[in-house]
Amino acid sequence: MLDKHTIQIVKSTIPLLESAGPALTSHFYQRLFQHNPELKDTFNLANQHNGGQPVALFNAVAAYARNIDNLAVLGSAVERIAQKHTGFLIQPEQYQVVGHHLLATLKELGGAAVTDEVLDAWGRAYGVLADIFIGRESQLYQTRAEQVGGWKGTRAFTITAKQQESEVITSFVLTPNDGQAVMDFVPGQYLSVQVQDSDFAQQEIRQYSLSDAPNGCSYRISVKREVGGLVSSTLHDCFNVGDELAVIPPAGDFVLAADDDTPVVLISAGVGLTPMMSMLNQLMGSEHHSDITWLHACEFGAFHGFKSDIQQKAASYEPLAAYTWYREPSSDDRIGEDYQFTGTIELDKVAGRLLPHAQYYFCGPVPFMAEVKRQLLALGIAPSQLHYEVFGPHQSV
């Protein structure tokens, strides 16, 4: 526990943090990688280049300072970050390295305002937070290792199937080399894979949503080819059936949780449909009796992933209804067959399916999810029924 004096000092630095903004955490990462370049094998450097990771870290640091006297309100954020950390195999000793550079950054950017007393207070505060993460991550590692089909660290898997789902999305089925079972996961979670290639400056770790229901023997991930994406392009172009990947156990706090008599609405844009596929397949496999509504938005038909699969499911499974928006349909796209609506997603067009007691899961670009949330709240859906996943560093919507 932190004493009142330490809490007061940390809170007194909030204006300093806010004035520095994400420049503080950008400086931190530059310092970290300069002095500990081995950590480049752990962090997704693409998120450094696009600014997403520094912003996410700054928001987390600022939230910790604001709520340091009431850490219970940070419980969901701690769980989300801890889940992410286990997907990168973060270890306790790395918290010491991060803490050292965080305090050094405060000193270097804060100038005279960051006294030894301030550094001592932040050192104690960071130590408490680090212990929370270390403890939770230790539990997660241990729990996964003890599950049937579970493991700790990495495990060798082979690509046993590769399927193109659209012009930009390809699925990979991964089967363990040891022939043993794989642990179950909760639909909505993701798989972390270590990718190595002779063209890479270092090992890369990426997290991809699992796109099928658990089956105990293999996993399926579906990967979008990102413009300029080093790893996604390599997976699409260079990895084929028979190639191996090192896989880290499933993780994530965005999970399907709905009783059999609860309607479920799955809303996605672009590659955001991948966790929804896992949820849908699980719901259908368990013969979910209440309504399931599938709402998807994409650019046009060539980018429409899993189109035939969803159409077949909707035709054969009575509780399921599926609707698609194409933002700019091509001349080959047929309204009423390939898609139902033109433009961006407008939920009032399917308001009859948006029941007040349903659970809503959505995933896609952050602006898309912010608009979906706005529309659902305007329709009177309670915030507690809204669940979303951000690919990459977390942002609030």
Question: Which residues line the annotated binding site?
Answer: 85, 190, 206-209, 270-275, 390-393
Report which of 147, 136, 141 is spatially closest to residue 79, judged by C-alpha positions.
Answer: 136
Q: Which of 29, 64, 95, 326 is catalytic?
A: 95
From the number of C-beta atoms within 10 Å of its C-beta (0-12, 13-18, 19+), residue 221 rates as buried
Binding site feature residues for FAD: 190, 206-209, 390-393
Which 3 state secondary structure label does DSSP give 224? strand
Q: In what order do the strands lie in the sheet with 204-209?
A: 204-209, 190-195, 244-251, 155-164, 169-176, 219-224
> CA 371 to CA 366: how far, in whole Å?
9
**How does DSSP classify residue 170?**
E
Binding site feature residues for heme b: 85
Q: Which of 137, 204, 371, 389 is catalytic?
A: 137
> CA 310 to CA 314: how far, in whole Å?
6
Question: What is the phi/psi pair of residue 296, to 5°?
Answer: -135, 145
**46: Cβ contacts below 8 Å, ≥ 6 apart:** 229, 230, 231
The H or E element that residue 237 is part of is: helix 230-238
Q: Does residue 388 carry a catalytic annotation? A: no
Q: Does residue 137 carry a catalytic annotation? A: yes
> CA 168 to CA 211: how far, in whole Å?
15
For 201-287, strand residue ranges (E) read 204-209, 219-224, 244-251, 264-269
If phi > 0 it is left, if psi is from -120 to 50 it is alpha, else beta; for residue 343 that is: left
**274: Cβ contacts below 8 Å, ≥ 6 apart:** 169, 208, 209, 210, 211, 221, 222, 305, 363
Cite the active site residues.
95, 137
